[in-house]
Structure formats: structure tokens, C-alpha cells
Amino acid sequence: MGRRHFGTDGVRGRVGEWPITPEFVLKLGWAAGKVLGGGEGGKVLIGKDTRISGYLFESALEAGLTAAGVHTRMLGPMPTPGIAYLTRTLHADAGIVISASHNPHHDNGIKFFSSSGQKLPDAVEAKIEAMIEQPMDSVSSERLGKVRRLEDARGRYIEFCKATIPSRMNFQGLKIVVDCAHGATYHIAPDVFEELGAEVVAIGVQPDGLNINDGCGATAPEAVRAAVLEHGADLGIALDGDGDRLIMVDHRGCIRDGDDILYVLACSRCRSGEMIGEVVGTLMTNLGLELALRAQGVGLYRVKVGDRHIMEHLVDEGWLLGGEPSGHIICLDRTTTGDGIVSALQVLAEMRETGQSLAKLCEGVEKFPQVLVNVKLGECPAAVILESSAVNAALAEAERRMMNGEGRVLLRPSGTEPLMRVMVEGRDPELVREMADSIADEVCGVCGGGH
């Protein structure tokens, strides 16, 4: 059976619209209990971010799992990577995250971790989808699952994060702005850095259920940039709503994205002799990072956009480091999934080990101008765009003018939103913008959308 409901990162959509409805999530919880729950008496963890709809879907999942005879441990607000960690260390059969990550509050989603703390392979998601199509039933009352809240989830995860850097290390003397996007890290990230000795200016730590990712966090790093400059901080850390993405800002106010962070971490691993294999990026990874890594003797291997594809290749090859420009960084030598707090700690550790600022550590990367245009698809299928002769002619013209090893052109549908993404990259910023707009205009002509 194909993946009808699962996208690139679980099931996601607008709250109240299928499949992000109470009745579907109830059935999803039951189906996941049947497939992932280890049979009756198994154990599944549920955590969430700070969206107001999290209460609704938490209850629906709990009911579905209970009907399947699976015991549930409720974590409350907890970063996605924290749920992955606890799933593994508590020897649960699975972990469930209620979050739409970097999306606005009106969206929500459900994603899963296996017992090893990693995202599910396609084949397992297909089994859950097949189970959803079956009539829902319930075990007898004496076999129903039981529910208990895990009171020390926050403390366990904080200690794990701190343990990913050398025990002798502290960050005394550093002033850090930490933007938690009013999301799941609001009661965790500031404490991690404070307990390690840093002076922390915390912003985005007053969630009200509606303000998650709203003008703050990794998707709006201008907020942390302004705070860094206002407070004279050494750097800024911007996390997204569920804590799996990281964008940083250096002391001069320069925003450092996932490509910059990957470069710093790759250089760190090379310096310490821990680097294994190549760095895994995506089709969106800047060509400047590829050239900078090559200068360090490290290759870059590109996969399709999405952290699941990065993870799959890292595991297949036995490599350690990968990520996306959006700030989803995977350090498999430290944890099992993308983790914004852990990634930030690795950068801070390299600053301490080398005595250099974040700005200095990033000097080896010269980014190519890159323009990304999002075109709203509306009801138009992505396949219609990709097969359009006018769109393909615009792509061919852009490739002719941008190539020769100094540019890239990419057209792809978003995996999480009804958008077609146009990306053009090259040395000449004016030509890059011209080509991106030209392709986007042709896409708009086909789908009737805007950009």
C-alpha cells in the first residue's frame, strides 16, 4: 500500500482538516499501537510542542493506544529530539511526537520514532497506513493500556544534552541569546546553557498556544539577531518550535544557517580526528559549502530534501554528519536524530577548544548567492508543473546560463506544504534573481498561483 497519509515527516496538515482531525488521530493512535506497540502490554511515549491543539491530539492518541492495549507514558511539552532520546533510553516500543515543527500554530502533525530513537522507514509507515484501513476495535477492559505521566522527562533530557560535550568544559564568560520560538524547548534550552556556565538571555519562552514560531525562532532569526546586537552577546541560538532545527547568529549579527554550522562541525571533527566519510547534504545545500568542505579534504554527498533521506544515507554508509540549510543538523556520533540544542553545544565546544569566535570559525565558507521562490500550488497537482513544456523550457534556459560548475537550478514540490519551490544559485546575484523569477513566473502561469 502506498503512503496515503504520511509525508516527508509524519502526518501533517491544518488542524480540523483531514487528516489532522480528532477522529483520524484516534484511529492513527490505535493503528500505531497495533503496529509499533510491541503487542498488548507494550509501551509508547507521547510528547508534544506548545500548540494549543496538542491537548486535543494528545488525548486522541492516548485513547487509540489504550484501546490497542498499549501502555502510554505522557511527556508533556518536549523537544522532538528529546522524545527520540527518551524512547531509546526508556526502552519504549515507540515514541510519538505531536508537532508541526516550524509551521504556524494552526498546523499540527504526528510523527513517530522507533524503539531505537530513529524515524520510521517507509515500510513501517505503510504498515500503519494499512492498519488504519481496518475496522477499529478495542481489547477487553482488563487488557486496556494504562497511562502515566513521566515527571522527570525534562531533567533526563537536559542531562543528556550536557553529556554530549566533554565533562571538563564550561561556557563561563560567554553571553548567549537563546530563542526558543515559544516552542517545546522553552523550559529546557535556557537551563542547558546556564547550567554549563553561560550568561543566557532567553527570548521566545512565553508560549500561549498560538505564538509558536510567530516572528521568532529558526524561521525568523532576525529576532535573535536583534537581541544579540542589543545585549552585546557573543552569539545567538535560534531553535524552531519542536527543537530539531538550529540557526545561529555571530557577535557581529551575521546569521549562520545550517550550511555554516555543518562546516564548523565538519572542521571540528577533522581537527579531532573523529571525521568519518563524507558530509551528507541535500539538493538545497549551498555550492559554497561543497567547495569549502573540499578544501578541507571532505566530500559532500547530496540527497533529496528531507532529514529522513539524510539519515538513511548516513546509516547506510556509516557516516556521522549531515544536515540542511534550514538548520536540521544530524550528529550521529552524539545522538540519533536532528537536535538543535545538541548541535549548538557542538559549535560552542569548538569555539572553546579553538578559542575562536563563531564568525572566525565560519570564515572558510563563501556562500554563493541563492534565491528560493515559493509558488502556491492551490489545487494544481505538482506533476502538472513538472511536466509543463513552458516550465521545462525556462529551466533549460536557466541551466544554460547558470551552469559551467558555478551554478545550480532546482524545481521541486514541498514535502510539507502546498508549494512548488524554485531555487537558483550562482555567482552573479542579479542573474540568479532573474532566472528564479523567470521560472517562478512560468510555474504561476501553469498553476495560477502567486509568489
CA atoms of 176 and 233, how far apart (whole Å): 6
CA atoms of 121 and 448, how far apart (whole Å): 35
Closest Cα partner for 347 from 362, 366, 363?
362
Closest Cα partner for 79 from 98, 106, 58?
98
CA atoms of 397 and 392, how far apart (whole Å): 9
**Is 167 an active-site residue?**
no
CA atoms of 299 and 260, how far apart (whole Å): 15
Biggest alpha carbon–alpha carbon distance for the chain: 70
SS (H, E, C) 351-382: HHHHCCCHHHHCCCCCCCCEEEEEEECCCCCH
For residues 176 and 344, the answer to whether their CB atoms sit within 8 Å is no
Return the beta strands (E) in 174-230 as ranges. 175-179, 199-203
Question: What single-letter DSSP state applies at residue 139?
Answer: -
Query: Which of 99, 101, 114, 268 is the catalytic position?
Result: 101
CA atoms of 7 and 415, how far apart (whole Å): 6
Return the beta strands (E) in 242-347 as ranges. 246-250, 255-256, 279-282, 300-303, 321-323, 329-331
> What is the DSSP code string of 232-245?
T-SEEEEE-TTS--
Active site residues: 101
